[in-house]
Amino acid sequence: MTTEARAGAPRGCLAAAALALAAGPAAAASLTLQITLPEIKTASYYRPYLAAWVEKADEKAVVGTLAVWYDTRLKDGLGKGWLRNLRTWWGMGGEQLALPVDGITGATRPVGTHALHFAGGKGPLAQLPPGRYQMVVEAVREQGERELLRVPFEWGRTANTARVQGSKELGQVTVDVAD
């Protein structure tokens, strides 16, 4: 018998509490996003602007933006003006963010693989109920191309890993969910 049951809590209350915990946000889970920016041989290479966000599996609702990389060094915030070239992210709510956002905004990154770690109890993942979602990564580069990848993943049920390979501005994008 559990301590709660000995203290006089009815069994029905215990079952309801366990069910509520199972259906609520998966705060114990964590997510690692690995983004590879490939080497692109060109006369003038500019680091890409990038946005990463979580959306529901049906692509109809954004859960939250996890990362926005842009040129933060430009005077008078001119780097923000180029963010509208991340067309999908911009149209799905990026336009309404007051940048920079602490913990989300960062400088553009060089060629290579970059890992971002997110604890389930913080930021946009804090209230995320278990279910099927997509990690969306969009990149655009001056004098380059635009690329958007969607990586489906399960949140809060079991540990899982999903990968999608880009072909232009993005290399492999990996989402790793740990319980």
The answer to whether the peptide bond before residue 100 is cis (omega within 30 degrees of 0) is yes
Digit-coded pLDDT (tens) for 111-139: 999 999 999 888 889 889 999 999 999 99
Using alpha carbons, select from 21, 179, 52, 31 the residue that is nearest to residue 119: 31
Cβ-proximal residues to 1 (8 Å cutoff; 6+ apart), any chain:
none
Q: Is 40 exposed, middle or buried (0-12, 13-18, 19+ CB in 10 A)?
A: middle
Say what the pLDDT of residue 27 is.
55
Is the pLDDT score of 13 beyond 70? no
Domain boundaries, the chain: 26-178
Under CATH, what is the fold of the domain 26-178?
Answer: Immunoglobulin-like (2.60.40)
- Beta-bridged to residue 69, according to DSSP, are 50, 106
Rounded to an integer, the average pLDDT of 145-149 is: 97
Q: Enter the pTM of the model.
A: 0.82
Q: Which of 9-23, 39-53, 97-111, 149-163 has the lowest mean pLDDT?
A: 9-23
